[in-house]
Amino acid sequence: MMLRFVFAGLLICCVVRAETGRSAWLRYAPLDTAAARQYIFEVPAAVTVLSSSTLELSARDEVVLGVHGMLGKDLRVEPTASKGSAILLGTLAEIHAALPTIALPKTLEADGFWLKYIMFVGGTRYLIIAGGDERGVLYGSFALMRKIALGESLAALDEKQAPYAPVRWVDEWDNLNGTIERGYGGASIFWDAGNARADMTRVSEYGRMLASIGINGCAISNVNADPKILSPDFIPQIAKIADALRPWGVHVALAVSFDSPKKIGGLDTFDPADPKVAEWWKAATDGIYKAIPDIGGFVLKADSEGRLGPSAYGRSHADAANVVARALKPHNGLFFYRGFVYDNHMDWNNPKNDRARAAWDNFHALDGQFDDNVIIQIKNGPIDFQVREPASPLFGALEKTNQAIEVQITQEYNGQARFLMYEVPMWKETLEFDMHAAPGPTPVKVLAAGKVFHQKTGGFVGVSNVGLDENWLGNHMSQANLYGYGRLAWNPDLTVKQITDEWTKQTFSANPKVVDTIGAMQMSSWRTYENYTGPLGLQTLTDIVGNHYGVSVEASENNGWGQWHRADAQGVGMDRTPAGTGYTTQYRPAVGKMFEQLETCPDDLLLFFHHVPYTYVLHSGKTVIQSIYDSHYLGADEVTRYVEDWKSLKGLVDDERYASVLKMLEYQAGQAVLWRDAVSNWFLRASGIADTKGRVGNYPNRFEAEKMKLDGYTEVAVKPWEAASGDGKAVQCAVEECAVSMNYAGAAGKFALHVRYFDQNSSLPVPGGRGGPAAPSGPAKFRVLVAGKVVDEWTATHPAPSARLDGSTSTRHIVSGVVLKPGDEIRIEGVPTGREVAGLDYLEIWPDGK
């Protein structure tokens, strides 16, 4: 009865709300008639599940839901296997008991499944979903539904699948107060004001999404952990979330704080060598497992970014990991110890210092000292989820220790869900990178799964950070990153194209034009983003001491955070060769040498490994400086093209998501121009070398606001300077209303006016990024008039992650179809509100449609 109720709820959610993005790739939209025809016979009219286990009932309900949605057919739910045709679900043993005469695989792996179509003489048909275990049955049902959604024939179905690695987890950086660190899709689905959210609907929907892509663990709290998570009186809150995820086979895990024994345990120490501390971890862990026996384990961030760790007592990471791991061991719990350990107060002036060295320096010598339920969770690259990094040298350096690769689904440094930036190709490149850790190819995927050195376990962790927004991640297109992560974790041998096409067909449409267009956009978007932000291994060049979003080239330098690019008047790049920081020596020799030598170091990572003059000639034949200029122009042009590509899908995708994605892409196109100009001008100023194509610093269609006639507006210096045109100058309004104006002096015609203004977010504190909200002062307003007539007006409501005039808030507004004659006055009026100063940078006048 209960399950039926849940099922009915799901049905309503997914049919009524399908096009808000909430159903993600599980829309089960009706197939077109031609695609559906093949299933009329192939899909039997009944479904039988051979057990009443929660997971298998979830599996059955999913099949009923999917067949109903895609084929418009209501399956008869039969309580036991009857003589008639049916979709039959069960574990291998259950199927064997029900159909003893059919040939079954001898074994199936944990979480694996077998899909088989059988037709007996006489016409009885069985579509069998056999699981290696109950979770396998659930995964098999999602796989079958995916096949139908993709229009694949089932007639000859005989397919076994097993996950590539046992660990396929997501981490959520959700704080117990309901905020999410680096979350861009709204408030936490798990927590609200210090407790589990009253309504667990979204958690259960998320569990279903995770199960559909084979994810089996979810850490539900921020690694910058609140010790309260381990308080005995908090256990019911965790239990509530675990209850919601359990029907989907997703184990709950907790991010813990290493000082918990002292902070909440009443001890005067958290020294891992102190027996009292070990006892405390054991008692706390036992208490949690007593209430929730299927907790997956704990995650720990220690000795990193202000988090306390074993260094407080001169102990090693192995000492720290083992004390907690031993408490988890009797419960089969895993302990994920993050490899993201580094000093964020390094001396920038010391050319030998290098944050990239940190993970390997901290962990490789400890190999063999960790208990067998400890997993070292290693970020894909050695720095911090930048647009391009080499694979971390720690992969393959741990031969006797479990490891897992950590990737970031939430796009922290990669456009924060405001930008189309498909990360699957980036992860795939790392997963396929050969670390030369042993004879024969040893790509990262094989090492992370523990298949080279035969570790006990290993796999994949994705930092997901979904939120309460209807589309989960803040951007419909970003859902592809979550989907792609799960698919790669299940099977990293899948190609990027396979994954992308699957996602598009299920999420938008199987129409070839839609699949090709979205596929091309997604698959090129990493390179595009890299081109207009930080190419050649420069890293992302965002405001790294603030919100990690807007452009700020120098933010990386002169501080202890270690994301240095060391650009100066002569050259750019970090020397990580033995003559520099020696980082390249952390790789196995074949890899280290390849990066170390200029002849073999790939252009894409040149500046990550080498400091070279701006005139250095790349393998591409261009100089470094010209390549920086060219790639920024190319990147910005590409985003403009995405807008046009997307427009070509009007009518082929639903109106709601069409409009939402278009708005995001138009915004991104404006931001890409800002990035292009900011980074190019910064390097022009640093290098003194002109763009051979004459573009950088020359903007013939551009009129700087500060050079127009100012009516109330006053000039302001924007920080960083490269975030505003005209050497960092813009105008702001400190009175009730202001205006800039000029007289048009060109030929008559129809034009598009590109207004570059600042869209401040006054709900944030002025320093931006981290920290609590301040009282918002409401959006500033803008109005454009031509020859005295209003041609457009708008309010500055884009939720940029900054309250200042800077690289995060500089925004473009386009007024199209404006008729201009010589002498016409163009006037832009701004109405500030409180802290929002109606800032203006420039106006560009382009022929309409350009």
Where do contacts with ligand GCV occur on this chain (CB under 6 A)? 173, 181-182, 223-224, 301, 305, 340, 384, 412
706 in catalytic set: no
Amino acid (1-letter code) at residue 273: A
Reduced to 3 states (helix: H, G, I; strand: E, B; else coil), residue 368 is coil
At its nearest, how many Å lie between ligand GCV and the CB of residue 808? 15
What distance in Å separates the CA atoms of residue 138 and residue 56, rounded to the nearest whole number? 6
At its nearest, how many Å lie between ligand GCV and the CB of residue 292? 24
Are the beta carbons of 211 and 250 closer than 8 angstroms? yes
Are the beta carbons of 164 and 489 closer than 8 angstroms? yes
What distance in Å separates the CA atoms of residue 28 and residue 150, rounded to the nearest whole number? 10
Q: Which of 172, 412, 423, 841 is catalytic?
A: 412
What distance in Å separates the CA atoms of residue 244 and residue 261, rounded to the nearest whole number? 29
At its nearest, how many Å lie between ligand GCV and the CB of residue 543? 12
Q: Scan for tokens 């382009």, then name that residue.
A: 846
- Select 387 or 515, whichever has its Cβ closest to ligand GCV: 387
Distance of alpha carbon 58 from the chain centroid: 27
Which residues, including other chains, have CB under 8 Å from residue 712's CB and lie 6 or more apart?
A: 733, 735, 737, 738, 739
557 in catalytic set: no
727 in catalytic set: no
Strand partners, 709: 741
- Select 297 or 519, whichever has its Cβ closest to ligand GCV: 297
HSE toward the beta carbon, residue 500, CA cutoff 13 A: 23
What distance in Å separates the CA atoms of residue 298 and residue 377, rounded to the nearest whole number? 12
Amino acid (1-letter code) at residue 835: R
At its nearest, how many Å lie between ligand GCV and the CB of residue 138? 30
Question: Kindly report the CA angle at 418 between 414 and 424, in degrees rounded to 5?
Answer: 45
3-state helix, strand, coil in the chain (%, to 5): 35, 20, 45
What distance in Å separates the CA atoms of residue 435 and residue 88, rounded to the nearest whole number? 44
In 10 A of CB 472, how many CB atoms?
Answer: 26
Strand partners, 255: 299
Burial class from Cβ neighbours inside 10 Å (0-12, 13-18, 19+) for residue 74 reads exposed
Burial class from Cβ neighbours inside 10 Å (0-12, 13-18, 19+) for residue 680 reads buried
Q: Comparing C-alpha atoms, which of 542, 501, 495, 444 is closest to residue 807?
A: 542
Distances (CA, A) of 388 to 182, 537, 611, 630, 671: 19, 6, 17, 18, 20
Sign, CA torsion 785/786/789/790: negative
In sequence order, what DSSP letters do the residues of 100-164 get, joined into one string?
TTS---S---TT-EEEEEEE-TTS-EEEEEEESSHHHHHHHHHHHHHHHHTT---TT-EEEE--S
DSSP 51: -
Are the beta carbons of 752 and 812 closer than 8 angstroms? no
In 10 A of CB 674, how many CB atoms?
Answer: 25
Q: Which of 42, 181, 305, 603 is catalytic?
A: 305
Amino acid (1-letter code) at residue 767: P
Q: In 731-744, which positions are buried (b, 16+ CB within 10 angstroms) versus exposed (e)?
A: bbbeeeebbbebeb
Helices 134-149 and 201-212 sit at what angle, rounded to 10 degrees? Answer: 80
What distance in Å separates the CA atoms of residue 78 and residue 510, rounded to the nearest whole number? 32
At its nearest, how many Å lie between ligand GCV and the CB of residue 190? 16
Are the beta carbons of 681 and 697 closer than 8 angstroms? yes
Q: What backbone phi and psi angles, to 5 degrees, belong to 763?
A: -85, 0
Catalytic residues: 305, 384, 412
